[in-house]
Amino acid sequence: MESIKEIFKIGYGPSSSHTMGPRKAAEIFKEKNPNAHSYRVTLFGSLASTGKGHGTDFAIIKELAPLKVEIIWKQEIELAKHPNALKLESLDANLGILNEWTVYSVGGGKITDFTSDETEKIVYPHTFLTDILKWTKQTGKSFWEYVVEKEGEEIFDYLLEVWQTMEEAIARGIDSEGIIPGGLKLSRKASGYYVKSKNYSGSLKSKTLVFSYALAVAEENAVGGKIVTAPTCGSCGVVPAVLKSLKKSFDFSDQKIVRALATAGLFGNVVKENASISGAKVGCQGEIGTACAMAAAAATQLLGGTPLQIEYAAEMGIEHHLGLTCDPIAGLVQVPCIERNAFAAERALNTSTFSLLSDGRHLVSFDKIVKTMNQTGHDIPGIYKETSEGGLALLEI
């Protein structure tokens, strides 16, 4: 598996697969084509279906500026290797093709043309949680220590930057009000929820705070603000909300928080390796389900869980999101995405509590649920996989 830095990417919303990835592809292509007079970019499959709502064209045009860019939308054509494909062409003064590159945005901001050798990026020798669990048993160490052993102590510097970016997104989000651009006339909720939390006490207060933090980050993502993929832009509010609420309740140090982030990243990595974190590939279960699993693992570690309890909590995070569709209204990362972050954060805390109440033994392993999620995603019809052709996307608003 690659570094967990690939799970936690610092960047700008609203979509890791539909804006962050294509923007990166455009940046690389631009560097390789200094003699271009203009560009033509063809978007295929899901990238074309929801590209307008997600702002894919805007992200590419901005990256390739100041040269002219023609965008061609081919939602009816899905390339075999992945539903999120784009072809970039550099053109000369007579519109002759100088160079072309077909590349795939495979989720979480990662791009690949499936031709480059990825073996040099391998950081982790294990790809299954079962093997990593065995490692924790043999060594007596925790998941986060496994991450440090494979990535080196410097991973903490990166994770601290990740945490700071998450906290900044929360702070901006709970301080902002007004309508989220895109046409749905959706107003921001985080600020109001945060203020209302001050009037409550006990579990209602903590629930309201978790909702407000998750909404804050998801709303920042929806307006194109700076966030961290965890594991994607659409699901970026879940992990920060859970960590922030626990930090506040238990006064955890940043050191403990970044260790929890290391474990969260490890679980996200296993899903990315053995299934997918792309809504276009497996539906929202791969985004929000994975985010919930990551947050549940982090929370359980922070609250003193054993490796088995951590694995159980993460497993439930995916199990109870199985089959979750991706059908965003108008192709915008707003409805259902923003609220979904709030509910997944709360669910992550619930699965953590549930697991901590148990002795950690459970029937379905994390590896098995990841495999099941992948198969379920394969079986879900394409209209529910980030194409905005079914479900909620068909509602007349």
Binding site for ligand SF4 (CB under 6 A): 234-235, 279, 284, 287-288, 326, 328, 333, 336-337, 340, 386
Identify whether the C-beta of residue 123 lies closer than 8 Å to the C-beta of residue 317. Answer: no
Q: Which of 84, 107, 109, 105 is nearest to 10 (CA)?
A: 109
Query: Which amino acid, 200?
Result: Y
What 3-state class would DSSP assign to 148? helix
Q: Taking phi first (over 0 means left), then psi (-120 to 50 degrees means alpha), and beta for anything else, what does residue 122 get?
A: beta
Quick one: 259 or 272, whose CB is closer to ligand SF4?
272
The residue written with tokens 């989720």 in the block is 107
Give the whole-angstrom CA distance, residue 88 versus residue 103: 8
Quick one: 195 or 395, whose CB is closer to ligand SF4?
395
- Least separation in angstroms between CB 120 and ligand SF4: 30
- Least separation in angstroms between CB 234 and ligand SF4: 3
Residue 109 is given by DSSP the state T
Quick one: 323 or 360, whose CB is closer to ligand SF4?
323
Q: Could you write out the DSSP letters of every residue in 137-198?
A: HHH---HHHHHHHHH-TTHHHHHHHHHHHHHHHHHHHHH--SEESSSS-EEP-HHHHHHHHT
- Least separation in angstroms between CB 325 and ligand SF4: 7
- Least separation in angstroms between CB 336 and ligand SF4: 6
- Least separation in angstroms between CB 80 and ligand SF4: 22
CA dihedral sign, ordered 249, 254, 256, 257: positive
- Least separation in angstroms between CB 152 and ligand SF4: 32
Q: Could you write out the DSSP letters of every residue in 280-325?
A: HHH-GGGTHHHHHHHHHHHHHHHTT--HHHHHHHHHHHHHTTTT--
Give the whole-angstrom CA distance, residue 12 versus residue 18: 11
- Least separation in angstroms between CB 286 and ligand SF4: 7
Quick one: 360 or 382, whose CB is closer to ligand SF4?
382
Quick one: 3 or 19, whose CB is closer to ligand SF4?
19
The widest CA-to-CA distance across the chain, in whole angstroms, is 70
- Least separation in angstroms between CB 283 and ligand SF4: 7
Quick one: 11 or 279, whose CB is closer to ligand SF4?
279
Quick one: 136 or 235, whose CB is closer to ligand SF4?
235
Quick one: 212 or 290, whose CB is closer to ligand SF4?
290
Residue 226 is given by DSSP the state E
Query: CA angle 129-84-24, nearest 5°?
Result: 85
